Amino acid sequence: MSRPHNGRSKRALLALAAASGVLTALVAVPASASAAANEKAAFPGKCPVAAEISQGYHDGHDGVDLAAPIGTPIFAAGPGTVTESGPASGYGQWVRIKHPDGSVTEYGHMFERFVAVGDTVTEGQRIASVGNEGQSTGPHLHFEVHRDGGTGFGDDPVAYMAEQGVSLPCTP
Ligand SMILES: [Zn+2]
């Protein structure tokens, strides 16, 4: 996003450095600091449910559907605070968890919920069980991710969970 600006100022610096004879020192400064930070997980991730992906993430579906029998335990994908737990339109019931980096994971269609708004949860804590509530054509967990913590179109859960060290579908 800020690349053009950086590139421009870097060129100016290089010109300056070349003129003053300190080019060697400047070139030795690596640009890999932010890349290294991106490789670190934002929080310790855990597999949310033992299931198969019955519908992936695409333009018309901003989450992944993880199909499993009714009652299959659902676990918090990471540590955080419960910001929603109760009935929700389309979902039957939903749970949202806010994680340390400000991102939110969202869980829908559950049969039972075991957490309340304001609860602190740890990664891997059982928060609910798989159901078929709301607009659902078979028992599954609709798992959604919002990197900005908002309620807009969700981000790709597979890429997000991979960053936390979990490859979907997974085994808890
Ligand atoms: Zn879904």
pLDDT, one tens digit per residue, over 48-97 is 999 999 999 999 999 999 999 999 999 999 999 999 999 999 999 999 99
Q: How many helices (H) and strands (E) does the chain have?
A: 4, 10
Nearest to 98 by CA among 82, 77, 74, 121: 82
Ligand 1 centroid from CA 88, angstroms: 14
The pLDDT tens digits of the residues spanning 124-133 come to 999 999 999 9
Eight-state DSSP code of residue 59: T
Q: What separation in Å is there between the alpha carbon of 76 and the centre of ligand 1?
A: 17
Q: Which pLDDT belongs to residue 41?
A: 77
The C-alpha atoms of residue 149 and residue 66 are separated, in whole angstroms, by 21
What is the C-alpha to C-alpha distance for residues 81 and 94, in angstroms, rounded to an integer? 14
Domain spanning 52-163, CATH class: mainly beta
Model-level pTM? 0.77
How many CA atoms, within 13 angstroms, populate the side-chain half-sphere of residue 71? 0
Name the residue ranges covered by the structural domains of the chain.
3-39, 52-163
C-alpha 19 – ligand 1 centre gap (Å):
59
Measured in Å, residue 50 CA sits from the centre of ligand 1 at 16
Per residue in 7-57, pLDDT tens?
444 444 444 444 444 444 444 444 444 444 345 678 899 999 999 999 999
